[in-house]
Chains A and B, each alone.
Chain A
Amino acid sequence: MSKLPITEAELHAYVDAVLPEARRDEVERYLSAHPKEAERVSAYRVQKNMLKALFNPVIDEPLPDNLRTLASPPAIAEARHQRRYFLARWSLERVAVGCVIALVGAVAGWTAHGQYRPAWRMANTSSLPRQAAVAHVVFSPDVGGPVEVSAEREAKLVAWLSKRLGTPLRPPRLGALGYQLMGGRLLPGNSGPVAQFMYNDAMGQRLTLYVSTENTDNHDTEFRFAEEGPVNVFYWIDGKFGYALSAGIDKGELARIAAAVYDQLEHK
C-alpha cells in the first residue's frame, strides 16, 4: 500500500510525533519490516526522553538573583534607550511609541499565558508522585504479599485491572533492563481505582509503576522527576493517564527505565 519511499526526515518526524496519521501508519509498517531501522528509531526516542529527564529539572530550579533582576530592564539598557530616544527625530519617536502600544497589548496576552501555566502545572502534578511514592513504600518492602495478583497469572491480572480502571492496561516489559514483572494490585486513588505494577531485579531491588486514570485536565506534561524521601519518582501525564515510576535506586538508572516504560506505553 505504501507508494512513496520513507525518507530519513520522515523517520525523525515520526520520532517527534509530527507525521500526519496516514503516513505514520506507513512508517510503522515499514519499521516492522525493517528491524534495524526500528531499532534506530527507538534509540532516538529513548535519547529524546533521556535528554528531557536530564535537563527538565533545570526548569524548576530557583532563578539566581542576577537573572531574576534581568526580568526588568537593566539601568544601562535604559540609559542607552534614552539616548536613542534623545537622538532620534520626533517621527521616529512616534513610531517607537506606536510599537510600545502594540507591544503592551501583545505582552498582556503573554503575561496571562505565563501566569496560568505554572498554576495548572502545580495543581495537576503535585499529588501524583507523592501518591505513587507512598504506594511504593507501603507495598514494595512487603515480603508476604507485595502484589495482589502475581505475574504467573498475568492474563488475569491484565484483564482484571483493565476492567476495574475501565481502560485497557498492559504492564511494560522491562526484562531487557533486568526487571521482571512480579504482579500488580488495585489501589484507591483520589476518586477511584488506580493500578500498581511491581517489578524486581535479580538482586531483589523493587520498582513500581503507578497508573492512574484520574487526570481530568487536558494537559500532558513532560517527564518530571520528584524525590520523596528515599524514593525517586519519574512521572508524566498523558491524556487521562498519569504514570509514575518509583524506586529507591539512583536517578540515572531510574531515568533509563522510565524512558523505556514511556516508550512502550506511548508507542504500543
Chain B
Amino acid sequence: MENSAILAEIPSLRRYARAMLGDRAAADDLVQDTLERAWSRLYQWRAGSDMRAWLFSIMHNLQVDRSRRSMLNTQSIDEDEFEVPTRSTQTDMLEVRDLESTLSQLPDEQREALLLVALEEMSYAEIAAMLSIPIGTVMSRLSRGRERLRLLMEGRQPTAKLSIVR
C-alpha cells in the first residue's frame, strides 16, 4: 500500500534533486538513498501525515549530511542518460541553461527555499515545518535567493560589494 504512495512522489523527488544538484546521475543517486532510508524508517512516518513532506525532509537531511562531508565531486556517467527520449541537447535551452548554472551559484539553503516554493509549491509554513526552522528564516532565505539569482542573471555580481578606491 505504501508502495503507490511512495511511487507517486518519486517524480517530484527527482525533479527537485535535479534542480538542487544540477546533475542527473547525482540527483537520481540522492533519490535512491532517500527511498532506501524511507523504507528502513517507515515506522517513523506518522500515519495520516504528509508523505511528500516526510520524503522531502529525509532527502534534505541526506543532502545536508553529504555537503557537510564535502566530498570530492565526481561526475558519474549513467547509462540511463543515453536513453533520454526527448530533447536534443546541442542548441536548445541556452537561456534556460544559463539559469541552471546560475542557480548552482546560490548557497544551498537559498536554492533549497527557492526551489521548494517554485517547483513543489509548498507553503512557507510547510517549508518551515519540514526544515525545522522559523518561518522568518524561510522568508529571508527565499528573499536573498531570489535577489541573488536576479542579479546573477543580469550579469551583476551580488557579492562584489567592494568599492573602487583610488
Contacts and interface: CB of A to CB of B under 8 A. Distances in A.
A104 interface: yes
B96 A251 contact: yes
A250 B36 contact: no
A248 to B, nearest CB: 12
B77 interface: no
Interface residues of B, number: 61
Interface residues of A, number: 62
B96 A70 contact: no
A44 B14 contact: no
Nearest to B119: A55
Contacts of B85: 62
Nearest to B19: A55
Contacts of B64: none
A252 B92 contact: yes
Nearest to A7: B139
Given A44-B150, A55-B119, A67-B28, A110 B5 contact: yes
A114 B7 contact: yes
Contacts of A102: 47-48
A57 interface: yes
27 contacts: A12-B146, A16-B117, A44-B150, A47-B153, A51-B119, A54-B99, A56-B15, A64-B28, A64-B80, A66-B28, A70-B35, A71-B6, A71-B7, A74-B36, A74-B39, A76-B40, A77-B39, A103-B1, A103-B45, A105-B47, A106-B47, A111-B5, A227-B87, A250-B92, A252-B92, A252-B94, A255-B93
Chain A to chain B: the 7 pairs with minimum beta-carbon distance, closest first: A114-B8, A252-B93, A71-B7, A102-B47, A70-B35, A77-B39, A252-B95
